[in-house]
Amino acid sequence: MLNNPHPVSDYLAAGKRAHLVGIGGVSMCPLAEVLQGMGLQVQGSDMAEGATVEHLRSLGISVAIGHNAENLGDCDLVIRTAAVHDGNPEIAGAIARGIPVYERAQAWGAIMRRYPNALCVSGTHGKTTTTSMCTHIFMAAEADPTVMIGGTLPLLHSGYRVGKGDTIILESCEYCNSFLSFFPTVAVILNVEADHLDFFKDLRDIQHSFRRFAELVPAEGAVIANADNQGAMDALADLGRPVFTFGLDRPADCTATNLRQEDGRPVFDVVIRGTVYAHVRLHVYGRHNISNALAAAAAAWTLGLPGKAVEEGLAAFSGAGRRFEHKGTFHGAEIYDDYAHHPDELHALLTTARGLGYKRLIVAFQPHTYSRTAKLFDRFVEELKLPDVAILAEIFAAREQNTQGISSADLCRNIPGAVYCSTLDKAAEQLRAIARPGDLILTVGAGDIYRAGEKLLEKDV
C-alpha cells in the first residue's frame, strides 16, 4: 500500500471508482469483474489490446491502452499488478494526487473476507494444477465457486470464473509474500522448496513465509499440508494447531490405496482417516498428480463436499493449460508443452515422461530468470541429463537484468550432448532437424518456449 493509512476494504464499496493498472492481466481481469459485481465503478489500463481487454469492454468497463496519468480520471483508488512499479506514470500520478495505491493481492485478500469459505492453494509448485482440480471438484458439486487460477483451465475457457456460491478458490503465490495479504479459511501447502531467491534470502526464509501463511487461518479453519514434503513439514513444525496431512510415502490423514495404472494413468481410492472417501480415475499422468489430487480431495473433504464430487470432478480433469498440454504431431513425433521451471517440477515431469514408452525423450528447455538459473544451477544440470536429447534456449529474463552474466550455454557445457540455441527460431529448427516417429518432444519453461513447438507445427506440411 502506498501513501494511505486505510485498508483497501474501506474503498471496496458500491459507488467507488477503482482504476486497475494492468487490467488485462490473468488475475486483474477477474478482479475487475468481481469489483464491478460489488457495485464499484471499474476502469483500467493495459499495454495492448487483447481478448481480455475486449471482454472487459463488453461488460461496460472502460480500458485505456497505454499507461498515462490522465487515465486515472476521478478514480478513488488504484490497484496494480506486481509487475507495475512506482515509476509507472499512473502510479506516480496517483501518488502526486494523493490517490491511494494498493497491490492486487491486497484487493483479493479483502474480497475473500466476504466468502465463508476461502480455499487458498499454495506451494512452490503444483499450485495451478491443484487449484484447477479443486475447481473441477467444486463445479461437480454445483457449489458455483469464484475461482482465480494462474493459468488457463479448459473447463472455464479462462483462468477464472465469478460465481455466486459461498466459496472462493485462489491460487496463492508466495513471491513477494503476496499470499500474506490473503485471508484463507483453508490453506493448502503442497510443498516448500528453494525458489524465488531473488526475493527470499534462503529456504529458511521461504519456510517462514509459508508458516506465516498458515498462521492466517482462523481456529475454525484448516491447514492442509503434504506429509511427504520435508520443507512443508519443517515450515509447520510446532504450529500450535492441528495440520491435516495428505501423502503417499509417509503416514497421513488423506492417502491413496489400491493404486494401479490403467492406460498409464493412475486409479486409486482416496482414504481419509481409514475410510474410503472416493474412487479416483485420473486423466493426467505422474505420481506428482496423485499427490495434487490428494490435496484437492483433502480440501473438498474439509469443506464438506461428498466423495462423488471428487470422483466426478477429477474424472473430468484433463490438465490445465501448459501443464503437459498436447500441442500436436510433427513427423510422427508427439509434441507436448509444460510450464515446469523449477528443478523439482522438471524432475516430476521428466521422470513421468520417461515412463510413457516413447522411443526418445527430447526436451527443449528455456530457463526462467537469471537468479533462479544461477542459484539452482547444479540441480538444473542434473535434471536436464534425464532426457535423451536436451536443447537449451536462452534464459527468459522475465522481470530481471542479467547481472550474473549467466547463459543457457553455461548449462549446456555441463550436460553431455546438450545443444544451445540462442533464439526460439533456432530451437524450433533444431527440433525440426532431429524429430522422428516415436519421439516425445517436450517444450518446457515458464516463458515463451511453447512458441518453438508451435513454430514446428506451423511448418508441418
**Cα pseudo-dihedral 294, 316, 116, 59, rounded to 10:** 140
Q: How many CB atoms lie within 10 A of CB 153?
A: 25
The answer to whether the Cα torsion of 31, 37, 38, 41 is positive or negative is positive
Distances (CA, A) of 185 to 154, 168, 217, 223, 335: 27, 10, 5, 8, 40
Respond yes or no: is residue 16 known to be catalytic: no
334 and 438 in contact (C-beta within 8 Å)? no
Among 338, 371, 354, smallest CA distance to 444 is for 338
Q: Would you say 235 and 201 are in contact if contact means Cβ atoms under 8 Å apart?
A: no
Is residue 135 classed as helix, strand or coil in its secondary structure? helix
Distance of CA 348 to the CA centre of its chain: 16
171, 174, 383, 394: the active-site residue: 171
Residue 241 has which C-alpha cell? 494447531
Choose, from 52, 81, 124, 128, the residue flagged as catalytic: 128
81, 103, 127, 152: the catalytic one is: 127
136 alpha carbon, distance to own chain's centre: 16
Q: Is 332 left (phi over 0), alpha (psi -120 to 50) or beta?
A: left
Neighbouring C-beta atoms of residue 263, cutoff 10 Å: 8
Which residues, in sequence order, are bridge partners of residue 267? 260, 281
Q: Is 127 labeled as catalytic in the residue annotation? A: yes
Active site residue 171: yes
Grid cell digits, residue 437: 516417429
Q: What is the CB-side half-sphere exposure of residue 19 using CA atoms within 13 A?
A: 23
User: Which triple of cell numbers denotes residue 186?
Assistant: 483453508
Write out the catalytic residue numbers. Answer: 127-128, 171
